[in-house]
């Protein structure tokens, strides 16, 4: 079974989606069917987890078949610790989003699209050949586009369009860069490209093969590296390529926002670690200082912008940018030159990034889920001013969302803390100034999240009637996420046991 | 190693467990919640005493203090393992006993105080969490575990200060407390990470490899930062930022008076046993690190000098403000800030034992004062303004007597009261501080003020004419018994550290203990001075407020009548909150608005510009299509079409027209042929 388990994982949600489309009727039946099917990939990932050899950190469950041999395109799948955690996250967040979707509102197409989106995510996190990977990277946009366009808020058309076109522009830059890279290296295989890059051969080849342009290998690599970076910069997003995000997250239906922020935003950071850093290390090193400035700017700027937001979804969207900013900081500081004694600091930063990705996926999707609950109870209004004093009427909702907010602001004992701690541990040793500036972001995050809590849950109750606490179904939807926040906060080793061997292996391969 | 060390973790774990269990209970189980909460803390108290016993007694081999640690792995990254652990030494043991004891009394008192609150069960949940987090700080053998517990203390204080969440002021005060302390915590976090980077461990004690042990300290002693400051000094100062935030040192003291918005038992817990004590405890814990300074020229390390100065300034500043307050709890709050300044002064100038002695004595008498104030408020139907009280000594005799003991302990009335001994230690340390004599004078001035404002408060509350409209009543026994116990403690704990028998000093530092009555004679001068100072404060307040009794709650304070400008500044808390409002908060607001505007207009504008350019380019293409390509093409096509239409008209499919053409052609042909034939 190991020979095709990853293929099965990707295909499974596709079939689930089709089944929901064909069999599901409108309303709650298709919701139940979809939820049931949504757990199947989770079971499969559980199987993966069991069979995964965590201690080696190597790429496992490899499937490799020639696909288009003349173009060096292989059907090449495999996961290491990073891939496993991302696949796990996708398998967790999508059923969570399905469960959180109010069954009365959305029909079977909505659920089918969520399943298709999951297939795209699995494909992206398992592919190891550019062609194959890029296919899924782009394909995952399609269901997301329709989810926003068909079920979004009043500005859904503009949002869907901006989301799609903006991401597409980044992707085209990336595609061009890889086409050029293929000319030089004659392969689309990420691992081979990384190997060539590591030995310095890639730069020489690029210089030789593209000599007609009259540019040196370094310059060409810089151009390609920036092209690939642009693709990821839009997706993550990095300032100033982030403006599509608040609009998209706030206009998308809430449960789609859960998947967008929970998993799709991680595709970019995953790409940085899996693709950009291994293939373009020298290029990135040359522009390390500006990259770090951009990371710090992303952290601080989005935190401050979050203050000014009135719309709950926009606020959490900015907080999402802010949290991914820490991932950027962690990824980029790893590039800082230095002797071998800094190995543990690099490992800390990179492990922190992986933890942060996972934990943010969990926490941010939970927060969006809570915003959805609030929205439904408030007739669709979700401005900060539309609430007040809810703790009296809905103590369970308050308590659970409060826990998620504190997880988001990095309270020790909950999941957010360890990732941020490790990122800062690495960053302070490798680039002290970047770490010092970024701590201001932690402070700012605390302020705007507590302001949210204060405005929504405390003070006198604004609307006396119609407020009901979470129903049993809603409690069952969010409780696993909240329980996971505690579990991972107290036992981060659960994730680190998977990520650390991979991180060590990656760092050794990158040969700092 | 005593076996209790292995079970030390139970001391914080039990209240934590209780908190978790209560959180899952329904709100109506109030007595079950209270029992869980009190029961778990009582067991923790028992365990604390069990842990305290082995730290007593002579030290084997002489020198050093008794210390046992238990470390364990938390997680791995890179090629290293992050380890946490707990430690049992005299510092931990003394604090454990104090916190669990005072905490237990406050818990019991809360049963009475919160009897009528609908969320009483939730209250006990948060109280237990608070105690658990504080106990976690105390037993931590790792700066990281300490930091984590520290943040949980912040969370618990947030929940408790904002306990009456329907009051907007309470919600705001809770947020202010969390964020102000978190400002300091950012420094703490950076210091922690830096220390981790330099020493490779966050364990305090680890068989010679801990970051507070000699090898690490020696290494730190050799390092200097780019600015020439010692790395140890820089780390110490960053850690002190955290301590200053939690312990309400100037300029991060602003949250503490506002924390009065919480129920009174919470105030007592925050001000006496937990939270504010955490900052002082942190400095005491990392004292070996604070003491390291390569450029130690003045006889005191830079970090400890900063601690001393900040402490001295805080002590006087907060005492001054306390003089101008009229809210019974606010006066006590500023007095806490002031006393915390003394503790820092003691730590900086005299070392761990001096600061900790005052921390311990203060915990008892301040808990007493707060619970007394709570009893007064309870008895006066939630009235907090001292000007509206008066003459309560008759209605509330127990509260009055115990409060008077607390007040005298705080003021430092000589010989019998604990505050006298511990404050005397601090003043003694300050008087021989090699760097400067100024902190000593500041300390003396603060002592005058302390005696003054406490006497003023006593007068307003318990003496003079009654201003309260309603009938005041004494509080129930469940509230007065803790008062009595604390009052006894407030007297007794002072005798642990008299100059003649400095038991606590010996216990904490591991020196041998002697009964030395001649030491009393040696410090007699200082004791006389401080007695005189206290007398000065008390007598001047007494004279001022008995002679010019304010006739009604609205009347001017005699001091205000004499010095309206000065009193105005004090009454308005030196306008510090307004200053922050105008600077920090406005800057914050400005930054957020700028970010948002930039986002909406600059970044988004750029994107829109690009998209407009794309659309413009598309329009050019469209225009080219329409007007150049299409027109040219269309023109050519038009010509063709015209021509074609001409031809097409010929082939209109009507047989008669074809016949007509054929006929006409035939006729024409015949005519032509005939024409030819004729020629």
Q: Which residues of B touch A424 (CB under 8 A)?
A: 189, 193
Q: Which residues of B touch A346 (CB under 8 A)?
A: 78
Q: If you measure CA to CA, which chain A residue comes closest to B176? A: A447
For B327-386, the pLDDT digits (tens) are: 888 888 899 999 999 999 999 888 888 888 899 889 888 888 988 888 888 888 777 887
Residues in chain B, total: 679
* Integer angstrom CA distances of residue A247 from A160, A189, A243, B303, B344: 9, 35, 7, 49, 50
Interface contact flag, A348 B607, Cβ < 8 Å: no
- Closest Cα partner for B240 from B289, B169, B184, B177? B184
Using CB atoms and an 8 Å cut-off, which of residues 85-104 of chain B contact chain A?
Answer: none
Chain B nearest-CA distance from A482, in A, is 14
For chain B, say whether A451 makes contact (Cβ under 8 Å).
Answer: yes
For chain A, say whether B168 makes contact (Cβ under 8 Å).
Answer: yes
For chain B, say whether A314 makes contact (Cβ under 8 Å).
Answer: no
Using CB atoms and an 8 Å cut-off, which of residues 601-620 of chain B contact chain A?
Answer: 602-604, 606-607, 611
Look up residue B263 and give its two tokens.
Answer: 């129920």
Give the pLDDT of residue B425.
Answer: 86
For chain A, say whether B75 makes contact (Cβ under 8 Å).
Answer: yes
Q: Which residues of A touch B171 (CB under 8 A)?
A: 454, 458-459
Q: Which residues of A touch B613 (CB under 8 A)?
A: none
The alpha carbon of A499 is separated from its chain's Cα centroid by a whole number of angstroms, namely 16
Give the pLDDT of residue A1.
Answer: 60
For chain A, say whether B194 makes contact (Cβ under 8 Å).
Answer: yes
In three-state form (DSSP H/G/I as H, E/B as E, the rest C), the secondary structure along B336-397 is HHHHHHHHHHHHHHHCHHHHHHHHHHHHHHHHHHHHHHHHHHHHCCCCCEHHHCCCCCCCCH
For chain A, say whether B26 makes contact (Cβ under 8 Å).
Answer: no
Gyration radius of chain A's alpha carbons: 22
β-sheet bridge partners, residue B84? B72
Per-residue pLDDT of chain A (512 residues; tens, 9 = 90+): 667 888 899 999 999 989 888 886 766 778 888 888 889 999 999 999 998 888 888 888 888 888 888 887 888 899 999 999 999 999 999 999 989 888 666 678 888 899 999 999 999 999 998 888 999 998 888 999 998 888 888 888 888 888 888 888 888 888 998 888 888 888 888 888 888 888 888 888 888 887 777 788 888 888 888 999 998 998 888 888 888 888 888 888 888 999 999 999 899 999 999 989 888 888 888 899 999 999 999 999 999 988 888 889 999 999 999 999 999 999 999 988 877 788 889 999 999 999 999 999 999 999 999 999 888 888 778 888 888 888 888 888 899 999 999 999 989 989 989 999 999 999 998 888 989 999 988 888 988 899 888 888 888 877 655 678 888 888 998 999 999 999 999 999 999 999 999 999 888 887 65
Using CB atoms and an 8 Å cut-off, which of residues 408-467 of chain B contact chain A?
Answer: none
Match 């290998």 to its residue by tokens: A217
Match 């000093």 to its residue by tokens: B505
Look up residue B572 and give its two tokens.
Answer: 């308005």
Q: Which residues of A touch B196 (CB under 8 A)?
A: 425
Match 């998947």 to its residue by tokens: A259
Q: CA–CA separation, A430 vs A435, rounded Å?
A: 9
For B28-41, the pLDDT digits (tens) are: 788 888 899 999 99
Nearest to B595 among A244, A308, A492 (CB): A308
Query: Other CB atoms closer than 10 Å to residue A14's CB: what's the count?
Result: 17
Running DSSP on this structure, what letter comes out for residue B628? I
Chain A nearest-CA distance from B73, in A, is 10
Whether B446 contacts B342, CB under 8 Å: yes
In three-state form (DSSP H/G/I as H, E/B as E, the rest C), the secondary structure along A323-370 is HHHHHHHHHHHCCCCCCHHHHHHHHHHHHHHHHHHHHHHHHHHHHHHH
Nearest to B592 among A308, A347, A422 (CB): A308
Instruction: Name residues whose C-beta falls within 8 Å of residue A435's C-beta, 6 or more positions apart in sequence.
Output: A329, A333, A424, A427, A428, B190, B193
Chain B nearest-CA distance from A217, in A, is 30
Q: CA–CA separation, B209 vs B64, rounded Å?
A: 17
Q: Which of A425, A427, A439, A445 to mutate to test the interface with B (most CBs of B within 10 A)?
A: A425
Running DSSP on this structure, what letter comes out for residue A276? I
Using CB atoms and an 8 Å cut-off, which of residues 333-352 of chain B contact chain A?
Answer: none
Q: CA–CA separation, B401 vs B484, rounded Å?
A: 9
Q: CA–CA separation, A393 vs B8, rounded Å?
A: 40
For chain A, say whether B631 makes contact (Cβ under 8 Å).
Answer: no
Whether B79 contacts B114, CB under 8 Å: no
Query: Other CB atoms closer than 10 Å to residue B379's CB: what's the count?
Result: 22
Q: Which residues of B touch A493 (CB under 8 A)?
A: 74-76
Positions in chain B short of pLDDT 50: none
Bridge-based pairing of strands B501-502 and A60-68 is unpaired
| DSSP-based three-state secondary structure for B203 | strand
The alpha carbon of B376 is separated from its chain's Cα centroid by a whole number of angstroms, namely 27
Interface contact flag, A347 B78, Cβ < 8 Å: yes
User: b/e per residue, A38-58, with b = 16+ CB within 10 A?
Assistant: bbbbeebbeebeeebebeebe
For chain B, say whether A158 makes contact (Cβ under 8 Å).
Answer: no
Whether B530 contacts B424, CB under 8 Å: yes
Running DSSP on this structure, what letter comes out for residue A54? T
For chain B, say whether A447 makes contact (Cβ under 8 Å).
Answer: yes
Chain A nearest-CA distance from B604, in A, is 6
For chain A, say whether B529 makes contact (Cβ under 8 Å).
Answer: no
Chains A, B: CB contacts within 8 A come to 149
Model's pTM, two decimal places? 0.89
Q: CA–CA separation, A257 vs A317, rounded Å?
A: 9
Interface contact flag, A439 B190, Cβ < 8 Å: yes
Give the pLDDT of residue A66.
Answer: 86
Q: CA–CA separation, A247 vs A166, rounded Å?
A: 12
Q: Which residues of A touch B158 (CB under 8 A)?
A: 450
Running DSSP on this structure, what letter comes out for residue A253? -
Q: Which residues of A touch B168 (CB under 8 A)?
A: 458-460
Q: Which residues of A touch B603 (CB under 8 A)?
A: 239-240, 242-243
Give the pLDDT of residue B431.
Answer: 87
| DSSP-based three-state secondary structure for B86 | strand
Interface contact flag, B193 A425, Cβ < 8 Å: yes
The alpha carbon of B402 is separated from its chain's Cα centroid by a whole number of angstroms, namely 29
Interface contact flag, B168 A411, Cβ < 8 Å: no
Q: Which of A307, A420, A475 to mutate to test the interface with B (most CBs of B within 10 A)?
A: A307
Q: CA–CA separation, B233 vs B223, rounded Å?
A: 10
| DSSP-based three-state secondary structure for A404 | helix
Q: CA–CA separation, B372 vs A129, rounded Å?
A: 73
Q: If you measure CA to CA, which chain A residue comes closest to B83? A: A493
Q: Phi/psi of residue A127, each to 5°? A: -75, 140
- Closest Cα partner for B136 from B117, B119, B151, B121? B151
| DSSP-based three-state secondary structure for A280 | coil
Interface contact flag, A411 B155, Cβ < 8 Å: yes
Interface contact flag, A435 B592, Cβ < 8 Å: no
- Closest Cα partner for A207 from A196, A217, A215? A217
Mean of pLDDT over chain B: 85
Q: Is the dihedral of CA A165, A166, A167, A171 positive or negative?
A: positive
Instruction: Name residues whose C-beta falls within 8 Å of residue B536's C-beta, 6 or more positions apart in sequence.
Output: B448, B451
- Helical H runs in B564-603? 564-571, 576-580, 586-597
Instruction: Name residues whose C-beta falls within 8 Å of residue B295's C-beta, 6 or more positions apart in sequence.
Output: B228, B230, B233, B302
Instruction: Name residues whose C-beta falls within 8 Å of residue B208's C-beta, 6 or more positions apart in sequence.
Output: B214, B215
Q: CA–CA separation, B236 vs B283, rounded Å?
A: 9
Q: CA–CA separation, B55 vs B560, rounded Å?
A: 52
Interface contact flag, A343 B79, Cβ < 8 Å: yes
Residue A186, by phi and psi: left (phi above 0), alpha (psi -120 to 50) or beta?
left
Nearest to A344 among B79, B171, B599 (CB): B79
Interface contact flag, B186 A442, Cβ < 8 Å: yes
Interface contact flag, A504 B589, Cβ < 8 Å: no
Give the pLDDT of residue B140.
Answer: 92
Match 């064909």 to its residue by tokens: A22
Nearest to A493 among B75, B158, B179 (CB): B75
Chain B nearest-CA distance from A305, in A, is 5
Q: If you measure CA to CA, which chain A residue comes closest to B118? A: A392
Interface contact flag, B166 A392, Cβ < 8 Å: yes
Whether B37 contacts B124, CB under 8 Å: yes
Q: If you measure CA to CA, which chain A residue comes closest to B591? A: A304
Q: What is the ipTM of this complex?
A: 0.91
Match 């931590």 to its residue by tokens: B140
Look up residue A158 and give its two tokens.
Answer: 């503009």
Q: Is the dihedral of CA B13, B14, B19, B21 positive or negative?
A: positive
Match 């300390």 to its residue by tokens: B443
Whether A325 contacts A299, CB under 8 Å: yes
Instruction: Name residues whose C-beta falls within 8 Å of residue B54's C-beta, 6 or more positions apart in sequence.
Output: B2, B4, B66, B88
Q: Which residues of B touch A429 (CB under 8 A)?
A: 193, 197
Q: Phi/psi of residue B77, each to 5°? A: -150, 145
For chain A, say whether B255 makes contact (Cβ under 8 Å).
Answer: no
β-sheet bridge partners, residue B72? B84
């Amino acid at each position: 079974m190991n020979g095709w388990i990853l293929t099965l994982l990707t295909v499974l949600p596709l079939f689930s989606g089709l089944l929901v489309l064909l069999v599901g009727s409108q309303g709650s039946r298709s919701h139940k069917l979809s939820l049931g099917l949504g757990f199947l990939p989770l079971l499969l990932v559980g199987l993966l987890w069991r069979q995964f050899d965590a201690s080696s950190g190597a790429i496992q469950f490899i499937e490799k078949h020639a696909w288009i041999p003349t173009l060096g395109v292989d059907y090449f799948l495999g996961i290491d610790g990073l891939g496993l955690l991302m696949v796990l996250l996708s398998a967790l967040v999508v059923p969570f989003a399905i469960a959180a979707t109010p069954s009365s509102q959305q029909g079977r197409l909505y659920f089918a699209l969520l399943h298709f989106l999951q297939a795209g995510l699995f494909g992206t996190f398992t592919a190891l050949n550019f062609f194959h990977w890029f296919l899924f990277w782009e394909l995952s946009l399609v269901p997301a586009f329709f989810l926003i366009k068909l079920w979004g808020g009043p500005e859904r058309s503009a949002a869907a369009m901006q989301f799609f076109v903006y991401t597409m522009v980044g992707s085209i830059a990336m595609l061009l860069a890889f086409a050029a890279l293929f000319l030089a290296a004659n392969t689309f295989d990420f691992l081979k490209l990384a190997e060539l890059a590591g030995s310095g051969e890639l730069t020489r080849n690029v210089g030789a093969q593209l000599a007609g342009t009259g540019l040196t290998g370094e310059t060409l690599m810089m151009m390609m590296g920036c092209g690939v970076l642009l693709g990821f910069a839009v997706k993550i997003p990095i300032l100033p390529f982030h403006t599509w995000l608040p609009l998209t997250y706030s206009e998308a239906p809430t449960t789609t926002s859960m998947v967008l922020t929970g998993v799709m935003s991680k595709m970019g950071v995953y790409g940085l670690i899996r693709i950009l850093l291994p293939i373009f290390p020298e290029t990135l090193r040359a522009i390390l200082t500006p990259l770090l400035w951009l990371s710090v700017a992303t952290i601080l700027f989005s935190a401050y912008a979050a203050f000014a937001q009135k719309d709950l979804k926009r606020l959490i969207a900015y907080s999402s940018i802010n949290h991914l900013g820490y991932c950027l900081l962690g990824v980029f500081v790893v590039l800082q030159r230095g002797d071998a004694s800094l190995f543990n600091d690099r490992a800390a930063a990179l492990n922190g990034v992986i933890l942060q990705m996972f934990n943010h996926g969990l926490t941010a999707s939970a927060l969006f889920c809570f915003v959805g609950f609030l929205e439904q109870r408030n007739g669709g209004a979700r401005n900060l001013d539309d609430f007040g004093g809810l703790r009296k009427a809905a103590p369970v909702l308050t308590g659970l969302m409060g826990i998620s907010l504190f997880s988001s602001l990095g309270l020790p004992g909950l999941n957010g803390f360890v990732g941020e701690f490790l990122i800062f541990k690495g960053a302070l040793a490798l680039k002290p100034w970047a770490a010092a500036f970024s701590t201001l972001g932690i402070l700012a995050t605390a302020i705007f999240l507590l302001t949210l809590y204060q405005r929504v849950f405390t003070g006198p109750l604004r609307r006396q009637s119609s407020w009901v606490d979470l129903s049993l179904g809603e409690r069952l939807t969010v409780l696993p996420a909240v329980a996971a926040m505690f579990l991972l906060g107290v036992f981060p080793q659960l994730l680190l046991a998977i990520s650390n061997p991979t991180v060590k292996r990656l760092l050794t391969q990158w040969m700092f | 190693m005593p076996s209790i060390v292995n079970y030390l973790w139970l001391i914080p774990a039990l209240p934590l467990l209780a908190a978790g269990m209560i959180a899952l209970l329904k709100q109506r189980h109030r007595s079950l919640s209270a029992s869980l909460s009190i029961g778990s803390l009582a067991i923790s108290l028992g365990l604390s005493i069990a842990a305290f016993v082995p730290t007593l007694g002579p030290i084997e081999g002489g020198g050093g203090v008794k210390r046992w640690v238990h470390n364990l792995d938390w997680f791995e990254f890179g090629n290293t393992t992050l380890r946490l652990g707990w430690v049992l030494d005299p510092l931990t043991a003394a604090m454990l006993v104090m916190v669990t004891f005072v905490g237990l009394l406050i818990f019991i008192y809360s049963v009475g105080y919160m009897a009528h609150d609908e969320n009483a069960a939730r209250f006990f949940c948060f109280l237990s969490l608070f105690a658990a987090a504080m106990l976690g700080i105390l037993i931590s053998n790792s700066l990281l575990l300490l930091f984590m517990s520290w943040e949980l203390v912040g969370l618990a204080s947030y929940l408790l200060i904002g306990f009456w969440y329907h009051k907007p002021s309470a919600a705001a005060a809770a947020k202010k407390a969390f964020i102000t302390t978190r400002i300091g915590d950012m420094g703490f976090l950076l210091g922690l990470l830096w220390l981790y980077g330099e020493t490779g461990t966050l364990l305090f004690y680890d068989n010679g490899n801990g970051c507070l042990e000699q090898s690490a300290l020696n290494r730190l002693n050799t390092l200097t930062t780019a600015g020439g400051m010692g790395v140890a000094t820089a780390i110490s100062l960053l850690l002190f930022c955290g301590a200053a935030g939690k312990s309400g040192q100037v300029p991060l003291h602003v949250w503490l008076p506002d924390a009065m918005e919480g129920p009174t038992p919470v105030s007592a817990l925050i001000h006496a046993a937990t939270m504010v004590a955490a900052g002082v405890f942190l400095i005491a814990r990392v004292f070996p690190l604070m003491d390291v300074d390569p450029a130690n020229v003045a006889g005191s390390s830079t970090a400890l000098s900063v601690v001393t100065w900040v402490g001295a300034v805080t002590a006087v500043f907060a005492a001054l403000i306390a003089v101008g307050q009229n809210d019974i709890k606010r006066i006590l709050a500023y007095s806490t800030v002031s006393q915390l300044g003394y503790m820092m002064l003691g730590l900086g100038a005299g070392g761990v034992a001096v600061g900790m002695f005052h921390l311990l004595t203060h915990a008892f008498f301040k808990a007493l004062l707060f619970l007394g104030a709570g009893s007064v408020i309870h008895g006066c139907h939630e009235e907090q303004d001292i000007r509206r009280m008066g003459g309560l000594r008759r209605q509330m005799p127990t509260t009055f007597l115990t409060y008077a003991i607390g007040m005298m302990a705080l003021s430092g009335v000589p010989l019998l009261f604990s505050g006298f001994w511990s404050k005397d230690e601090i003043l003694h340390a300050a008087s021989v501080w090699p760097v400067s004599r100024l902190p000593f004078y500041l300390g003396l001035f603060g002592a005058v003020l302390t005696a003054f404002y406490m006497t003023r408060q006593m007068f307003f509350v318990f003496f003079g004419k009654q201003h309260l409209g309603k009938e005041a009543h004494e509080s129930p026994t469940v509230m007065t018994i803790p008062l009595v116990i604390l009052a006894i403690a407030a007297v007794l704990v002072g005798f642990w550290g008299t100059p003649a028998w400095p038991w606590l000093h010996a216990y904490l530092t591991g020196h041998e203990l002697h009964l030395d009555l001649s030491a009393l004679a040696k410090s007699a001068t200082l004791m006389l001075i401080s007695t005189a100072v206290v007398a000065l404060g008390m007598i001047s307040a007494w004279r001022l407020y008995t002679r010019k009794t304010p006739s009604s709650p609205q009347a001017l304070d005699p001091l205000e009548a004499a010095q309206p400008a000065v009193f105005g500044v004090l009454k308005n808390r030196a306008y510090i909150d307004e200053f922050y409002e105008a600077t920090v908060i406005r800057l914050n607001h400005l930054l957020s608005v700028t970010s948002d505007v930039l986002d909406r207009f600059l970044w988004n504008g750029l994107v829109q510009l690009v998209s407009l350019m794309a659309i413009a380019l598309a329009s050019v293409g469209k225009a080219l299509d329409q007007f150049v390509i299409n027109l040219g093409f269309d023109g050519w096509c038009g010509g063709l079409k015209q021509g074609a239409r001409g031809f097409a008209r010929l082939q209109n499919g009507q047989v008669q027209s074809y016949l007509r053409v054929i006929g006409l052609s035939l006729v024409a042909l015949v005519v032509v042929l005939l024409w030819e034939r004729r020629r």
